[in-house]
Amino acid sequence: MGQSTDGQICFGVMFEEDYEFPWSDEEYSDIEEWWKRENNYTPPFDVWTDEGEIIDGVTEKQVSDCFSHSREWSKRNPVPVVEVNYCSGDYPMIILATPSSLMSAKRGYPKEFNPKDLIVDSKEDQALKDFLNMHGLDSQGARWWLSSYWW
């Protein structure tokens, strides 16, 4: 088992280690699942018990349909930010970034890009600001970040 590092460029707001996001207390600390709950997503029917087991009598097709419904909802209602880990898997440190600004390259696989293409869509920029304000997230302002991720 080896170690790898990714290079990353994104436009967003950097937060310090152990920053408490609204989704930090969630069972899996998952922004996507938190976003669904924040926006009152409900699956078409229940397929899981509170313990995470499939409810007796639920078919594989029903489980598949439930996942498809969830994916479709997420496509129509995407989280307006992406989490960019600028440290490591064991010690996550997060930048909340505009989704289209994130570029990354795996070690040994460089990517060509033109710095003139580092442009932030005004709608995504506003969505980032709105998201931060709506959820009371402390920030020092959005800017471009060059970072690495060690995994």
Dump pLDDT digits (tens) for 128-142. Answer: 999 999 999 976 789
Residue 144 shares a structural domain with residue 106:
yes
pLDDT value, residue 149: 93
pLDDT value, residue 2: 62
Categorize the per-residue pLDDT at 3 as very low, low, confident or very high, splitting at 50, 70 and 90.
Answer: confident
Here the contacts of 43-52 (C-beta below 8 Å, separation 24 or greater) are: 43/69, 43/70, 44/69
Residue 90 shares a structural domain with residue 111:
yes
Range of the domain at 10: 5-22+81-150
Taking Cα atoms as reference points, which of 81, 56, 93 lies closest to residue 134?
81
Residue 146 shares a structural domain with residue 113:
yes
Query: How many CB atoms within 10 Å of residue 48?
Result: 13
pLDDT value, residue 31: 94
In-domain check, residue 28: no
In-domain check, residue 126: yes
In-domain check, residue 29: no
Residue 47 shares a structural domain with residue 15:
no
Average pLDDT over residues 118-147: 92
Counting the structural domains of the chain, the total is 2
**Residue 46 β-bridge partners:** none
Residue 109 shares a structural domain with residue 91:
yes
Average pLDDT over residues 113-128: 94
Counting Cβ atoms within 10 Å, is residue 66 exposed (0-12), middle (13-18) or buried (19+)? Answer: middle
Q: Is 57 helix (H, G, I), strand (E, B) or coil?
A: coil
Does residue 30 surpass a pLDDT of 90? no
Average pLDDT over residues 32-52: 90
* Cβ atoms of residues 10 and 144 within 8 Å: yes
Does residue 1 surpass a pLDDT of 60? no
* Cβ atoms of residues 47 and 63 within 8 Å: yes
pTM as predicted: 0.87
Residue 143 shares a structural domain with residue 112:
yes
Choose between 25 and 17: higher pLDDT: 17
Taking Cα atoms as reference points, which of 149, 25, 27 lies closest to residue 82?
149
pLDDT value, residue 112: 95
In-domain check, residue 95: yes
Whole-number average pLDDT of the chain = 91
Query: How many CB atoms within 10 Å of residue 44?
Result: 11
Please count the residues of the chain: 151
pLDDT value, residue 89: 85
